[in-house]
A and B are shown apart, each in its own frame.
Chain A
Amino acid sequence: MDGMRGARRSSTAAGAGIPAVNGATDVSTVEVAFDVNGVGCALRLDSRVTLLDALRDHLGLTGAKKGCDQGACGACTVLVDGRRVVSCLMLAAQCEGRRVTTIEGLSDNGAPHPMQAAFARHDAFQCGYCTPGQIMSAVSLLAEGRAGSDEDICEYMSGNLCRCGAYPNIRAAIRDVAASEDA
């Protein structure tokens, strides 16, 4: 396949007269602006920087966690334009103009989001490393209308792994919030 390891490096598209994104001069640098938790941010980044690394290393938002860094564990789950994604497999450059919500953006004037409160109430964690991703996914799960049964909760939360095995309590927390929203 073209572009595979060992391929010869050639001249740049910018050198061929095609403008790089947003006028950045170094071809491996991008300028990107997006909204994080209601606040606009503008960054100049190496094009390789993922959304996860932009949040953690450039914006100081360390709630989203780097677990596997290959899209398998869900610890880095955030919302982009309201949909849950794994931020480790998305380039920051792809977020231009997008609306990103992280765990830090869930609370309302310092009061925990109902899902955060339910996770605390149900002791839905042990080490806590997966928790921000679990909560972001759980908030999406309810928005998607998929918290109607334990089976659905298990199926549609399966992208978030918990190595401590707190799943029963995570399910209980989600059921609790789902029930209170139905009430």
Chain B
Amino acid sequence: MRPFEYLRAADAAQAVALVGADPDASYLAGGTTQLDLMKDGVFEPERLVDITRLPLGGITHTGTSIRVGALTSMEELAADPVVRERLPFVREALLLGASTQLRNMATIGGNLLQRARCRYFRDPTVAACNKRAPGSGCAAITGAHRMHAILGTSDHCIALHASDVAVPLVALDALVHVQGADGVRTIPLTRFYLPPGETPNIENTLVRGELITAVEIPLPPRGTRSHYLKVRDRVSYEFALTSAGAALIMDDGVIAEARVALGGVGTIPWRAWDAEDVLRGSAPGGEVFRSAAEAALTGARPLPGTAFKVELAERTLVRALETAAGAGS
């Protein structure tokens, strides 16, 4: 690990000023991704601004949404009584991610900003990685890419966004509140992430120095049924091969509104708008669920190592919808 200067910010404004003015500075929160990347020599900041003492924790309830301070840990959010009652698939996604130790450390803001789990991105001895070294190529496309994305990919990068909780959050139209040098603004999570395109090194719409202060989750109507299903190689403590988060708002036996997103398959947490269109106005059932799943995967661009993911993702979504609707296991 390269030497760095460790600073503790006195307040958010000072933190933003320090990181905003200095391209070699970075925030430090839970550190579970960042310290790992620093040990690997992939991320080499000259200055770390520790924000963990800032008053950016805590969860507040407004009745129509919950506002989650950026420093709230994954375990804290999973334990929130409103999340437990009103957002079961958010709680499921949280508790299916990482291990308890990591969930005690990792913050919700950091979770959204976690870096790719691509083995080539995380190995600086591999020359070709457009995300780490723009213009150098992509070793994953011709290499071992079984854990990589099939949606939102480009010829320059196929790295997966591996967050579980971002899947239900993107389905719920969560809002990301940020503070920057020019003040505060709010970014819809559905417009927060940028697919790799020709610039895989740019992963989101934050500008230098902008600090996530809170994530706001709108509450779906009471009675909404939701489920998050994660399929993986090990039964616990493993990243998803495929996952699906689904929430169904029912009205007189018909799906009035559906919220669907996929994990394990996208370069960004993947909102399945096409699946929602299929589901809206239909009675729940196997056929419409399968049509929705096919619609969700229509744009998939699998490679030889990820060909299995198309059908697996479809089946994962069908099962998640069945469970949410109370029709399946």
Chain B contacts for A173, CB-based, 8 A? none
Q: Are A5 and B101 in contact (CB under 8 A)?
A: no
Given contacts A159-B100, A159-B101, contact A7 B4 (CB under 8 A): no
Binds B, one of A8-16, A100-108, A115-123: A8-16
The docked-state distance in angstroms from the alpha carbon of A6 to that of B43 is 9
| Shortest distance between the CB of B290 and any CB in chain A (Å) | 30
One digit per residue, 1 when the CB lies within 8 angstroms of any chain B CB and 0 when it does not, for chain A 1-31 equals 1111111111011100010110000011010
- Does A182 sit at the interface, judged by CB under 8 A? no
8 Å CB contacts to A: which residues of B34-76?
35-36, 39, 41-48, 50, 52, 75
Q: Are A2 and B24 in contact (CB under 8 A)?
A: yes
Q: Are B35 and A84 in contact (CB under 8 A)?
A: no
If over half of B's interface residues share one DSSP class (helix, strand or loop), that class is named, otherwise mixed; here it is: loop
| Shortest distance between the CB of B221 and any CB in chain A (Å) | 31
Binds A, one of B25-33, B179-187, B253-261, B296-304: B25-33
The count of chain B contact residues (Cβ–Cβ below 8 Å) is 47
The count of chain A contact residues (Cβ–Cβ below 8 Å) is 48
If over half of A's interface residues share one DSSP class (helix, strand or loop), that class is named, otherwise mixed; here it is: loop
- Does A169 sit at the interface, judged by CB under 8 A? no
Chain A contacts for B4, CB-based, 8 A? 28, 47-48
| A residues with CB within 8 A of B | 1-10, 12-14, 18, 20-21, 27-28, 30, 46-48, 50, 69-71, 74, 77, 83-86, 89-91, 93-94, 96, 137, 140-141, 144, 154-156, 158-160
A-B contacts, 20 listed (Cβ < 8 Å): A1-B132, A3-B23, A4-B132, A4-B133, A5-B132, A7-B24, A9-B24, A21-B7, A47-B48, A71-B32, A71-B36, A71-B102, A84-B101, A86-B101, A89-B35, A91-B35, A96-B8, A154-B235, A158-B99, A159-B102
